[in-house]
Structure 1
């Protein structure tokens, strides 16, 4: 199959070489950036002039939605243009909603074709700088270099509090302050029901059957309790050894040094662009997937205190500096007009991190008023968890200063590139996104192939998945919630369990909102008066589910200690370092 795909794209490459439809592609994807974190989206306490310039000089989307409300599935959907449930990269189990260890065997399936693979076959030099989070697998079989990227410099999993010598499992106070919590307390909260069951069985055995067997059960339970603690602290994201930095397929830091990582990533991105243009003399496809602004927060010492919004604001402003440096490099290489730029975020802000999290933001209602802050957070399909900033810039092609208010998705960038490259999608891999070109005002409308333009479709329905379940549906201005999370008291988040589970509250009939009039989702509509809308949504959900083909789940596997990366070690030295959680270089 891969050979046929290769021949297909080689022929398309020969065709496209004669057309001016191969601009450089530069993608800025930020981690956990809130809808309200940038000046061009209404923030007045954080300066982001370089990012704001993308909105000024291009198109800004007011209703751009992520492919999922959390990292791994969102990034998978973005790179493939397909709902992540089709890829086996979703889970309703809160422990497995993302890759939680570099030792898990799963990853982005190789029978899926990323936009980087298409670009590579069309003659682009492709690079990823920053965060991957789509699996490592056995012997690095799922690293970016196995999915269409010529070069990779970054973290194969993700940055978490552990990487900054902080605790993932701390609680958050009523004012967003961090409340210290021991791992033992967190472990009991997480697994307490299991151990209470063990103790109950042991006491029942003692009372009704055998004291000796009861002691054996208690001993086995103790081994499981403390063994589970050791395993979790050694082979999941609670271990600093999981904070890896790779160059291509080689570990270069374990754990990663965060403080100057944005500076290093920026330099890597600029060098990649320079080398591609001046040495390789090819167009480039650069996926700049920022480690920021996921916690642990980090900045260079000179950037501490530069904003009026604390450590989080400092991170945004350092991010903005990085974007500015890369945009300036485009000018220096005289390729600004030959580069299509996308800027967005993988999901909403991680409110479980309190004052270290972003801002959900406010949206304009249909009558021009500002709404209350958007509801929810990362990991949820309330608006705050999935509505993200979105900007497209291509000087000389996309008319500057336009605002796109139609419902759009990060699933859409894949078919947008296919349209630009005059490439048809593969028949056995139906896309869930739609091209963005129909929405855009272009300086030269004949830029794109009229034959493809005529058959482009508009979106009827957008399905919002939380885990493996459609928890919300958007049709036109209406949005229905079939499931919502149960928040910790006084919050719109769930720090007690790290992030809110998807399936806490089921709604039948669903909660229905007019998002154009009520983007904050405060005023549920009378479902009896809108029964026709709900019926259309129900039909759409059933028709969508009928297109899903069962695939192996890539996330719902525990980390295998022998797959856990440990740099520059072999044999018994590797075993010792894995057991003692001391892998480092």
Structure 2
């Protein structure tokens, strides 16, 4: 009888012990912050002591890569552990990100995310901040792409993104500001909607003249063409009203949102979430997805003018303060020792916006350039005191897509078996194991075009990188200049494709200044042959999928999909008391 009771006791206690042994998770994701913007990665003009402390108390990943150089595809890859090209979120050349909230596009419901996996294993999950992976499909309340459909129990933040139009001092900036004029000219030139509407009008007029169509048909189609133009203009000219939206779960709580108070409000929500989980003794996964430092640059009043790098530096330092509050809250609640904390950025700094952009350090290129180190090599840190020794440095190539399988390993959860997973478990590397990257190859896309491939042989210490594409950088720089707004992916924007590809040893030449040739290195042909074969096999693993970021859904907003509070005015404001944060700089 005693033996039976002991077995019953063990059957109850052991699962509890295993559950308690699992860590909590906090993911801190910056926006457009380059690897050269953070102190522990070499910056000495922007103060980031709280981010730097994560490096001191954990691991610094010096070759951690985003799967894309713009936010929407990059963030989708981070959550799913898969290349965006596999599920239609890579995009074509324009614009590779969601522009309007009133667009029927977003992360496909067939995709599985690691927050969903954590939720299935008993975790309370929350996303605070930027989503930018879609919202509605058929009507304004269906929320088919809402964070709640992908594993987040709680959502407080932006269903879209912060952008220049969210600056209240530049209303209608999409049409009137200097950057806006370039944006409009470049981003919409390929559609030529005005020309299309005019051509349709003249075409229908000609058909009517020759009596191929009736007046009724002429009037109807002319009305449709010009209505599309008027609708597009209305959404662009009122972008702040329609796109700068704040939500709590399913409800719009602020429209247009006040960017300047957003970081303190997000911080307050993060603190409340952590305190509630501690009080209820619940395990949690929290993602704090910052708008910092995506334009519009509107830090809270306490941070303005405090950095040595203008509004951009103020914005980064504001984010660092927020991260400090989150980390201090973990410490105060006794959660630090068993919390897996991960800091990264979604893509490199935006070089084409001058002083409003950040730094990608020694690496060439930036936001938008899917094959450039500056566009995809992210400032990344991981802290987990129970498993990661302070001061650990991981120099092997890793990916943001690795988070999914790493979390799965920690939770002892199986990976999805019905799809290709591009991420790999990096827990051994974080634990200090001296071993090669778990990736033989990493494929770097710009939109749906392959621009570069990384190759890490199992022997030796060298990581090779083949560049299939080169960018139209301004002379003496590694950015495309304000006239292009951001570097694009294809030949019509000045991109050239290399045959044979340029080959670099990124281990010993991280700045990619010295291309390898057959004359300079006997391994040149051997390495390129291996990479060529890997590319062929990789392309065979791709299947045809619906393009979520096709021009049609993106450039023609649907009014019936528009989120709105206080209909029909679409205007409301959240009242929040921020005094409890005691903000000091």
Query: Scaled by the length of structure 2, what TM-score is found?
Result: 0.83
Distance 1:251 1:51 in 2: 31
**8 Å contact kept, 2:182–2:483:** no
Change (3 A) 1:549 1:46: same
Q: Indicate the residue corresponding to 2:38 in structure 1.
A: 38
Change (3 A) 1:183 1:93: closer
Say which SS state the counterpart of residue 424 (structure 2) adopts: coil
Cα shift at 1:258: 1.0
**8 Å contact kept, 1:509–1:527:** no
Cα shift at 1:429: 2.4
| 1:79-116 CA-partner distances (Å, limit 9, x unpaired) | 11111111211112313x11111111122122221111
| 1:200-222 CA-partner distances (Å, limit 9, x unpaired) | 99999999x97999xx9999899
Q: How does 1:396-415 map to 2 (within 5 A)?
A: 396-415=386-405
**8 Å contact kept, 1:566–1:584:** no
Distance 1:318 1:487 in 2: 31
- CA RMSD after TM alignment: 3.5
Q: How does 1:7-406 map to 2 (within 5 A)?
A: 18-95=18-95, 97-138=96-137, 139-165=142-168, 166=170, 179=178, 182=181, 186=185, 190=189, 227-228=228-229, 230-234=231-235, 238-278=239-279, 280-362=280-362, 373-406=363-396
| 1:290-314 CA-partner distances (Å, limit 9, x unpaired) | 1111111111112111111111111
Asked if 1:495 corresponds to 2:477, the answer is no
**8 Å contact kept, 2:370–2:447:** no
Q: Indicate the residue corresponding to 1:461 in structure 2.
A: 441
**8 Å contact kept, 2:70–2:367:** no
Distance 1:512 1:496 in 2: 29
Say which SS state the counterpart of residue 323 (structure 2) adopts: helix
Distance 1:249 1:201 in 2: 40
Q: Indicate the residue corresponding to 1:541 in structure 2.
A: 535
Change (3 A) 1:236 1:71: farther
| 1:159-181 CA-partner distances (Å, limit 9, x unpaired) | 0010113476699xxxxxx9566
Q: How does 1:487-526 map to 2 (within 5 A)?
A: 487=473, 492-504=479-491, 505-526=496-517
Asked if 1:483 corresponds to 2:469, the answer is yes
Change (3 A) 1:271 1:525: same
Say which SS state the counterpart of residue 428 (structure 1) adopts: coil
* Uncovered stretches (5+) of structure 1, i.e. residues with no partner: 1-13, 172-177, 363-372, 446-453
**8 Å contact kept, 2:28–2:344:** yes
| 1:270-301 CA-partner distances (Å, limit 9, x unpaired) | 100110110x3211100111111111111111
Cα shift at 1:495: 3.3
Q: Indicate the residue corresponding to 1:3 in structure 2.
A: none
Distance 2:184 2:121 in 1: 53
Distance 1:106 1:188 in 2: 18
Out of 422, 431, 452, the position equivalent to 1:441 is: 431
Say which SS state the counterpart of residue 391 (structure 1) adopts: strand
Q: Indicate the residue corresponding to 2:564 in structure 1.
A: 566
**8 Å contact kept, 1:100–1:236:** no
**8 Å contact kept, 1:65–1:409:** yes
The alignment covers a number of residue pairs equal to 536
More off after superposition, 183-192 vs 267-276: 183-192
More off after superposition, 488-497 vs 472-481: 488-497
Change (3 A) 1:218 1:472: farther
Query: Scaled by the length of structure 1, what TM-score is found?
Result: 0.83
**8 Å contact kept, 2:200–2:222:** no
Say which SS state the counterpart of residue 354 (structure 2) adopts: helix
Say which SS state the counterpart of residue 36 (structure 1) adopts: helix
**8 Å contact kept, 2:455–2:465:** yes
Say which SS state the counterpart of residue 260 (structure 2) adopts: coil
Distance 1:342 1:73 in 2: 19
Cα shift at 1:551: 2.0
| 1:450-497 CA-partner distances (Å, limit 9, x unpaired) | xxxx9x982100001111122110112211121233346766135334
* Uncovered stretches (5+) of structure 2, i.e. residues with no partner: 1-13, 457-462, 574-585
Cα shift at 1:555: 1.9
Change (3 A) 1:341 1:239: same
Change (3 A) 1:405 1:43: same
| 1:351-401 CA-partner distances (Å, limit 9, x unpaired) | 222111110112xxxxxxxxxx53343443211000011111011321000
**8 Å contact kept, 1:375–1:520:** no
Distance 1:566 1:413 in 2: 34
Distance 1:480 1:407 in 2: 15
Say which SS state the counterpart of residue 103 (structure 2) adopts: coil
Change (3 A) 1:421 1:190: same
**8 Å contact kept, 1:103–1:235:** no
